[in-house]
Amino acid sequence: MNDSDPQAARLSAELERATLRALGQTYDSLNLEYFKGSLRRPTIAFAEGTSRLGSFVSVPRGIELSPKLLHLGWGVAVEVLKHEMAHQFVIEVLGDPDGAPHGPTFRRVCDERGFDSAATGLPAAQADADTPESKTLERIAKLLALAESPNEHEAQAAMSAARRLMLKYNLEEIAAPKRSNQ
């Protein structure tokens, strides 16, 4: 399979949308748990052509994430999201007292919450991020990467396996908000 395969592109786009929905839900949970709901969810999107894994942008408000996160695992994606939420908290809630992206206030906010404050490199993924849903998303991402193989048989088998998983676990359901019976 190659990059021009429309089926691979469609499945990759579906995985990206499902991952962004899941990250939005995770943002809401982390906001309540670590920031007492003080943050307003910004746009969360994948941004091509960046060497950074993530970035909080205040104008227009958004968290930009590298598409590389789709292949690095759910735990890494959540840690990058936490890091960017800490930037958002320092800027929007605390008023950016240091004026430095990774200054003392940012490091203190991260330390108080157990977040990785490092500006570069891969964050340490948390074990509690290994939910069944995140493992399924990771497995599908790996299969889609394998579907890019120059070996046609291997690529076709990986594509079929990814499609079966997406149908079996109905990614819309995985990424949809959990509704309580009221």
Contact 118, 87 (CB under 8 A): no
Contact 80, 56 (CB under 8 A): no
20-34, 115-129, 144-158: range with highest mean pLDDT: 20-34
pLDDT band at 177 (very low <50, low <70, confident <90, very high): very low
Question: Which runs of E-coded beta strand occur in 32-170?
Answer: 43-46, 54-57, 62-65
pLDDT tens per residue across span 33-49: 999 999 999 999 999 87
CA distance 134 to 174: 9
Give the tens place of pLDDT for each residue, 59-90.
Answer: 889 999 999 888 888 888 999 999 999 999 99
